[in-house]
Amino acid sequence: MRWLSTIAIILAFVVFFGCEKTPTLEAPNVSYTVSPSDSGGTLELSWDEVTDADGYIIYADGAVIDTVTTISYDATTPAALYEVSAYAGDQESDKDQIDCGAVETASLIVYGSGDTASTHPSGFGFNASHVAVAYAISDSTNWPYIDYWIHSVSSSVQEFASPSQAGYNSEVNTTQNSQQTNYDAVTICAKPGNYTAPTTINANAVYYFWIDPNDDGWGASNDYFGKIQVLGVNGYQITLKIAYQPIAGLRWCVTP
């Protein structure tokens, strides 16, 4: 009789706990806005509350940088990828991610406007895939697409210039020498204030750039930032490496 009771108790345990399934924790659905408070230095992440979550884990480029119990996070550390997951106890959901990496053009050759070969491109702009493309300024059909051009002061002195300064189009785009030569170490562009056009081009220097099409100061609608490294200068010929941040108004320029 006693063993029968034991079996009955075991049976009761099996029935009550045997089929219990751990509920799946849903991944948060993350969206973002670019903060105007510091002119595009902060990416404000937000998401809807996940049912049963104890909190949320924030990752920057694959590494955990914070855990929060709120449903928003101000990302101030420039990164190429931000991810957010929900957690409950030791269970973690899938991550939702925001791609905030800059798009790199590994090498672009342009020539100072004083170069006598008319087919040598002196202008460059960014296409719909955010890749830099060189344009010959002698061909007026290219002018609408020019974001910068290389102005020759002499055969040995070249400058980044705005297309508005030659009338190629009305954009007032500027650059600023970062005073650094380590391209990867430049992860965020400077705030507006000291961007200029023209800007003298120095070999190896890394420049911030700011595309401000309607010349109305910083804005998160159609302003774009990035960085340019001058890989080489050979007379009029300039070789550039460029990273373009596709998120409007965001000054981060980390390449994946």
Partner 1 sequence: MKKLATLLVIAIALVVIGCQAPQNVVTTEQLDAAKAEISALKTQVTNLQAALDSLTANYNAHLEKYHKGAAKIPSGGKPPSGGLKPIQK
Place of tokens 């930032």: 225
Choices 39-47, 64-72, 87-95, 212-220 (CB under 8 A): range interacting with partner 1: 212-220
Element (H, E) at 87: strand 81-88
Residue 110 and residue 220: Cα distance in Å, rounded?
29
For residue 256 the two structure tokens come to 């994946």
Shorter beta-carbon distance to partner 1: residue 79 or 201: 201
Residue 171 and residue 223: Cα distance in Å, rounded?
11
Question: Taking a C-beta distance cutoff of 8 angstroms, is the pair 227, 178 a contact?
Answer: yes
Considering the complex, what minimum distance in angstroms separates the CB of residue 74 from partner 1? 26
Q: Does 229 bind partner 1 (CB under 8 A)?
A: no
Answer for which of 53, 171, 242, 251 binds partner 1 (CB under 8 A) is 171
Answer for which of 75, 100, 134, 161 binds partner 1 (CB under 8 A) is 161
Considering the complex, what minimum distance in angstroms separates the CB of residue 57 from partner 1? 25
Q: What distances in angstroms separate CA 61 from CA 84, 96, 172, one per listed residue?
A: 11, 13, 33
Answer for which of 144, 232, 235, 256 binds partner 1 (CB under 8 A) is 144
How crowded is the C-beta side of 13, counted as CA atoms within 13 Å? Answer: 6
> Which among 68, 26, 71 has a CA at the least distance from the CA of 49?
71
Choices 47-55, 64-72, 143-151, 236-244 (CB under 8 A): range interacting with partner 1: 143-151
- Residue 248 φ/ψ region, left for φ over 0, alpha for ψ in the -120 to 50 degree band, beta for the rest: beta
Considering the complex, what minimum distance in angstroms separates the CB of residue 125 from partner 1? 8
Considering the complex, what minimum distance in angstroms separates the CB of residue 222 from partner 1? 7
Choices 8-16, 64-72, 200-208, 230-238 (CB under 8 A): range interacting with partner 1: 8-16
DSSP structure class, residue 170: S
Q: Which residues bind partner 1 (CB under 8 A)?
A: 1, 4, 7-8, 10-11, 14-15, 18-19, 113, 122, 128, 137-140, 143-146, 149, 151, 153, 159, 161-162, 165-172, 174, 192-198, 210, 212-215, 217, 222
